[in-house]
Structure 1
Amino acid sequence: MNKKTILILFTMICIISLSACNTTDEDQTKEKQQSNESVETAGDMEEDTSKQIFVSLKDRKQREVATATLMQEEDGVRIQLSGQNFIPGKHGFHIHETGACEGPDFSSAGGHFNPTNVSHGNVEDGPHAGDLPNVEVKEDGTVQADTLAEMVTLEKGKPNSLLKEDGTALVIHSDEDDYKSQPAGNAGERIACGVIQEGE
């Protein structure tokens, strides 16, 4: 075998070796990208399930009388309420359809959150997605409540999302909700209101 043939063979071996190295590098780069994408996706899912919204509820004199924490759970949105300076007894507690709490009567919050257009309360064609159990204020004027709203979500873009474009609101009423009177359970005046939106 002459020198020319040996040189040609040597050159071909080098080219093949370099191509193999390049292919390996490209494969490794793709694997890293896919791995990073998987981690980001998992992170997004974790963020969604741990989403929390904080709401400040104010009375008609614009004094903060309660706070609420909303947390996305697998079966709905958990609402934890803590407040003070209320009249003892049971009070209606609802999610309203508009994120506006303008005084003095908070009518800007609109009606109950009702994306499926059904009746209020424990009736055949009900309840509203925004219907929540009454809260009970103690003799000292404080209230603590923990409820799961199974018909709503904090996931944006869903028909039953509380984070829709014009927002939603939490409202406490002066009287007890009877869960049958239309359209709002005969729960009386709106005495506290808080806007549900990100960043609150």
Structure 2
Amino acid sequence: MTITIHVAGAQPEDIVRGLLAAQSVFDRAGVTPDLAATARFIVEGWDIRGFPNPAPEAELAICNVWDEADQAAVEACCVGWPADRIPDTADLELVREPQRFRLTSEEERSEWQFQTAEAGILEEMCGEGYFNEGRPEDEVVFLLDYWDFERLTEEQRRLYDERIYPLMRIWFFEHERFEEEYTRLRAEWARGLPPDNRQLSLFAA
């Protein structure tokens, strides 16, 4: 698994900065995000049960790493923000379908930033009022509120790949074109036109 954060008002580059800071905490501690999250869960359960013996020593040793990563994400994400806008937490969470990338060029770095901020990009688009008309792809966006692709049927995953994902890439890489492309593509889909494969190929990962 990998991680994402949810910070209201954050731009994709803010989200990326926060995620990099959180990952640095995990790296310094020498634990993976899922191991840190599991340790925190186990220790909380031990607390709720009244601290019975034996104590989960291994988990106690790393149970604070998750919270430290969350705070690092908030601080990095919200650099320069007014104090009253900075939240107490980045709502750090684990995400399914991890993807790993090598940073060997500016192009690859941009691609990595997109993939890292993917969940936040979709959330930002929804916050701006897109995908809210009850269409089939809008239902897919609703189901991805927790970025859990296992909730999607095969048809819904196809809608994500053909309709949502290309628009997310335009939003991130060519934001000035987004409104025009969103309006054009939504009109085509409403008329039942087949996907424009030339358009999709421009944004293939």
Q: Which structure shows the higher strand fraction?
A: 1
Structure 2 length-normalised TM: 0.24
Q: Which structure shows the higher helix fraction?
A: 2
Which protein has the larger Cα radius of gyration, Structure 1 or Structure 2? Answer: 1
